[in-house]
């Protein structure tokens, strides 16, 4: 295999797999990764990766829920614990794992912010805490009185921390009840948070920090309008103050 030139490898990827076999960009990049692994690790004969670069696929825009869809979905959440979580994910732009990992001590009501631990890439950050979510968290705490040695906020019936998969199960259940598209997933709530902030004119750098992105490129996905410098206000508060309940 050491006798195979980078041109031959490139022809295999671009001409054979792409043009003849009509494979997707994702599949071609998979084969590319396998080739790199074989040469770099198995053969200990690194190849010039610039000569066989990964293909850039068309980036799909994230699915966003409208105010009407949010209204119907939140109203479909019969269980107060799950309603609190889903509204918090939307209101604070959390990833699903960040919501399940939330601890009671992470709620900073004095400064109206949430401490996000164990974010993507093990990065920690603060994000906005909506007034509506703070009220719901307080009511939830009074109703459920969660007690866990490590202080987790959201628990299963057995007293263990709520799992990501269980949260997805309930999201799908309420999504069906609300009769909204199956294209929407839990992460769509975070996408909606980010898009709403950009539409409201929050500076892109600030949105990046709230989302916990490592680079601004990821945040650029949500750019729909020009940015204006203003104080961050959670889209959940805007949603509720708009009178849609």
Provide the pLDDT confidence category of residue 96 given band limits of 50, 70 and 90: very high
Q: Inform me whether the pLDDT recorded for 224 exceeds 60.
A: no
Q: At what angle do helices 204-211 and 187-199 cross, to 10 degrees?
A: 160
Q: What is the pLDDT of residue 128?
A: 96
pLDDT digits (tens, 9 = 90+) for 3-49: 677 788 888 888 888 888 888 887 888 888 888 878 777 777 777 77
What would the pLDDT profile of 108-166 be if each residue is shown by its tens digit? 999 999 999 877 777 899 999 999 999 999 999 999 999 999 999 999 989 999 999 99
Mean pLDDT across 174-179: 97
Q: Domain coordinates of the chain in residue numbers?
A: 6-51, 67-241
Alpha-carbon span 212 to 99, nearest angstrom: 14
pLDDT tens for 113-129 read: 999 987 777 789 999 99
Tell me the average pLDDT of the chain: 86
**This model's pTM is above 0.85:** no
| Superfamily (CATH H level) for 67-241 | Intergrase catalytic core (1.10.443.10)
Distances in whole angstroms, Cα of residue 45 to Cα of each of 1, 29, 31, 41, 54: 10, 20, 17, 8, 19
């Amino acid at each position: 295999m050491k006798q195979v030139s980078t041109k031959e490898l490139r022809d295999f990827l671009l001409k054979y797999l792409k043009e003849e076999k009509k494979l997707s960009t994702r599949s071609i990049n998979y084969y590319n990764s396998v080739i790199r692994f074989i040469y770099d690790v198995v053969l200990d004969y690194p190849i010039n990766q610039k000569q066989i670069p990964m293909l850039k696929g068309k980036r799909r825009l994230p699915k966003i829920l409208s105010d009407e869809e949010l209204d119907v979905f939140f109203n479909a959440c019969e269980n107060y614990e799950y309603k609190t979580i889903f509204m918090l994910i939307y209101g604070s732009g959390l990833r699903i794992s960040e919501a399940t990992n939330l601890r009671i001590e992470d709620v900073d009501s004095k400064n109206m912010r949430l401490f996000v631990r164990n974010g993507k890439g093990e990065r920690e950050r603060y994000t906005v805490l909506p007034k509506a979510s703070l009220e719901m968290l307080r009511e939830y705490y009074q109703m459920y009185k969660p007690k866990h040695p490590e202080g987790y906020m959201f628990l299963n019936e057995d007293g263990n921390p709520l799992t990501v998969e269980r949260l997805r199960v309930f999201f799908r259940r309420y999504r069906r009840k609300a009769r909204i598209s199956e294209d929407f997933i839990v992460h769509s709530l975070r996408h909606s948070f980010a898009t709403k902030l950009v539409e409201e004119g929050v500076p892109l750098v600030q949105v990046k920090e709230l989302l916990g992105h490592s680079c601004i490129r990821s945040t650029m996905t949500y750019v729909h309008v020009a940015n204006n410098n203003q104080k961050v206000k959670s889209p959940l508060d805007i949603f509720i103050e708009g009178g849609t309940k």
